[in-house]
Structure 1
Amino acid sequence: MRVITGTARGRRLKELEGMETRPTTDRVKEGLFSALQFDIEGRRVLDLFAGTGQLGIECLSRGATEAVFVDRRADAVKLIRENLKVTELTDRARVVSADSMEFLKGLREKFDIIFLDPPYAAGLLEPAIAHIAKFDILNPHGIIMAEHPVERTMPALFEPYRLHKTYRYGKIAVTMYRRSGNEQNEE
């Protein structure tokens, strides 16, 4: 598992042992960042259910201003910190050891891009998406990228959020949600 491009291009990231964490495959990661390539620079990123931290690290490498990584597993938090040191991106990162859903409930800040890749069987993806929309934690024109099994249909959301597109990569899909701007409030 390597950083695809940017300041940390080619750096190898460490992976977690065991089957509890399922890192995003290279094919999915390349497709995901192809869809996001013009939306990363200067943005604030939340990597929820972060695992190895590879998605947030890729954003930092590509010019994101800041990334917050959240995972409940102590070994994952330790590994994210190690991967940030290897990539020399620690100065723009914050690593939080917490349950991702509890973190969302207490959140008082907004982000431009949010990655959601919880364990598929945990039933956390739809509640996380609903919470993000309900408490409106995306900045105007923000993006949610949700990884899920291809057979799972993702929920539609109410304005200002909308399901934008689902990308399919074999058995895995990534659904992009977008938040509209504040156009209705502007005159």
Structure 2
Amino acid sequence: MRIIGGNLRGLKLADVGEGDKAAHLRPTTDRVRESIFNLLVNGTHGNPIPNARVLDLFAGTGALGLEALSRGAARVAFVDDGVAARALLRANIEKTRAMGVTDVWRRDATNLGINRSPGFDLIFLDPPYGKGLGEKALITGLAGGWFAPGAMIVWEEAAPPPAVAGLERIDQRKYGDTVITLLRPEQG
């Protein structure tokens, strides 16, 4: 696993091997991550990365959020309640020397609560597949004010996810056994 683009391009991240099923670690492959960022940067919806405040839910190794930092995001908040994930995440933050522009929050991404700071511009959502956790995280994220108006949400699942009230689907692509769905909050 490595950073695909930006100023940290080529940097090797902490190795997870085949992932950690007990900890639900299933890192996004380099190929899928590259496809996600090509879609974000070159899509018709505008590049949401430069100077973005990024929220990486079910962060795991943090590869998605760190890739965004490498490509010009201003700050990333990583959310994961797994011990193994947070250890890998901290190792990757050190490798990228991103301690000053990252936050690691040990909390349940499906129960975010109320956000007391500005909403996030770019949200990555990579829950354990097929458990309905993505929908729960998005519902609590909307209710708690975690998403800025016009935010871009990138949701990774094994199958096309169900619609979530308050969010509109912008795009959806399938890469092997992974479905990437781009969403935005509906404009009031």
Q: Give me the TM-score of the superposition, normalised by structure 2.
A: 0.87
Q: Is the alpha carbon distance of 1:123 and 1:180 closer, same or farther for their aligned partners in structure 2, counting shifts above 3 Å?
A: closer
Q: Is the alpha carbon distance of 1:135 and 1:99 closer, same or farther for their aligned partners in structure 2, counting shifts above 3 Å?
A: closer
Aligned 8 A contact 1:43 1:64 in 2: yes
Counterpart residue type for residue 20 of structure 2? G
SS state of the match for residue 66, structure 2?
Answer: helix
Q: How far apart are 1:136 and its partner, in Å? A: 3.8
Tell me which residue corresponds to 1:165.
171
Tell me which residue corresponds to 1:22.
26
The unaligned stretches of length 5 or more in structure 1 are none
Aligned 8 A contact 2:115 2:145 in 1: no
Deviations 1:146-178 (A, max 9, x none): 10113x3421533xx311111111221011002
Tell me which residue corresponds to 2:137.
128
1:174 is matched with which residue: 157, 180, 185? 180
The unaligned stretches of length 5 or more in structure 2 are 42-46
The size of the alignment, in residue pairs, is 178
Choose 44-53 or 81-90, whichever is displaced more: 81-90
Counterpart residue type for residue 53 of structure 1? G
Aligned 8 A contact 2:110 2:134 in 1: no
Tell me which residue corresponds to 1:58.
67
Tell me which residue corresponds to 1:155.
163
Report % sequence identity.
Answer: 38
The separation in 1 between residues aligned to 2:101 and 2:10, in whole angstroms, is: 19
CA root-mean-square deviation: 1.8
2:127 is matched with which residue: 113, 118, 128? 118
Q: Which segments of structure 1 move beyond 6 Å, counting only runs of 4 or more?
A: none
Deviations 1:60-85 (A, max 9, x none): 11111100001111221121111011
Tell me which residue corresponds to 1:94.
103
